[in-house]
Amino acid sequence: MGCGPSNSGQANLGSKPQYNDETYITRARSPSFDRTLLKVILLGDSGVGKSSIMNQYVHEKFTAEYKATIGADFLTKHLIIDDKPITMQIWDTAGQERFQSLGVAFYRGADCCALVFDVNDEKTFENVNSWKEEFLLKAGIEDPQNFPFVLLGNKIDVENGRAVSKKRALKFCEDNGNIQYFETSAKEGIGVSNAFMHLATFASDKRNQK
């Protein structure tokens, strides 16, 4: 699947670039050309709920069935921030190790990165730092200290499963340049739109500072 005028696409993770000239021409002629495009990347271990968070936010849907993401996929969402139209392009990536080798071309040009873990699974929290470091390296971020990350602790609806306290997550945020922390449930739709709204505001502010 290509990244044409549709609002979703599968990244071509082989050798080709994500966009061809034709796509740019289509965009230039589109009435939405004046919109600011914000590229957001969701990263984290397999099964933490990255795809579910994206689907809840964009389609307001949740499925209990697990279908691993292969490579990466994106969906777009239009929103207004401070009276300005924004198109958020949300890239949902594969957490599974075996798909990592497919490449990370889509990391390039990211405006914000949401690091996702499952509050009921400590290992996924411990791996957040590796995701962050790998992203900074592979995306070629020039100013890592000031790159807008947010941390999402997902699956807060699971009863009696909590393995990572809010306090511990906040400590990580504090130690990593005061990044923002949001707790979410893609299943119940809790905290998801709030997290994306903050993330978009934050990313567009950072971009305006450039």
Ligand X SMILES: Nc1nc2c(ncn2[C@@H]2O[C@H](COP(=O)(O)OP(=O)(O)OP(=O)(O)O)[C@@H](O)[C@H]2O)c(=O)[nH]1
**Least CB distance from residue 19 to Mg ion, whole Å?**
22
Q: Please choose which of Mg ion, ligand X, none residue 153 contacts, taking the beta carbon within 5 to 8 angstroms, the exact cut-off set by kind.
A: none
Q: Binder to ligand X among 47, 87, 136, 168 (CB under 6 A)?
A: 47
Residue with smaller CB distance to ligand X, 69 or 204: 69
Q: Binder to ligand X among 12, 18, 52, 89 (CB under 6 A)?
A: 52
Containing 167, the helix (H) or strand (E) segment is helix 166-175
Question: Any contact of residue 196 with ligand X (CB under 6 A)?
Answer: no
Return d(Cα 189, Cα 157) in angstroms, integer: 10
Site residues (CB under 5 A) for Mg ion, limited to 39-58: 50-51
**Least CB distance from residue 116 to ligand X, whole Å?**
7
Q: Binder to ligand X among 66, 100, 146, 174 (CB under 6 A)?
A: 66
Facing residues of 24 across strands? Answer: none
Cβ contact 162:133 at 8 Å = no
Residue 16 three-state SS: coil
- Dihedral-angle region of residue 191 (phi above 0 means left; psi in -120 to 50 means alpha; beta otherwise): left
Using the contact rule CB under 6 A, the part of the chain among 1-9, 27-35, 45-53, 103-111 near ligand X is 45-53
Tokens 């949300």 appear where? Answer: 90
Please say whether the dihedral angle defined by the alpha carbons of residues 95, 129, 190 and 162, taken in this order, is positive or negative.
positive
Question: Any contact of residue 95 with ligand X (CB under 6 A)?
Answer: yes
Site residues (CB under 5 A) for Mg ion, limited to 62-81: 69
**Least CB distance from residue 89 to Mg ion, whole Å?**
16
Contacts of 37 (CB under 8 A, 6+ apart): 86, 87, 89
Residue 40 three-state SS: strand
Tokens 């040009």 appear where? Answer: 109
Q: Which two tokens stand for residue 39?
A: 């590229």
Site residues (CB under 6 A) for ligand X, limited to 147-176: 154-155, 157-158
Report which residue type is found at 74: F
**Least CB distance from residue 80 to ligand X, whole Å?**
27
Per-residue binding letters, 114-153, with ligand X (x by CB under 6 A): ----------------------------------------
Question: Any contact of residue 26 with ligand X (CB under 6 A)?
Answer: no
Footprint of Mg ion (CB under 5 A): 50-51, 69
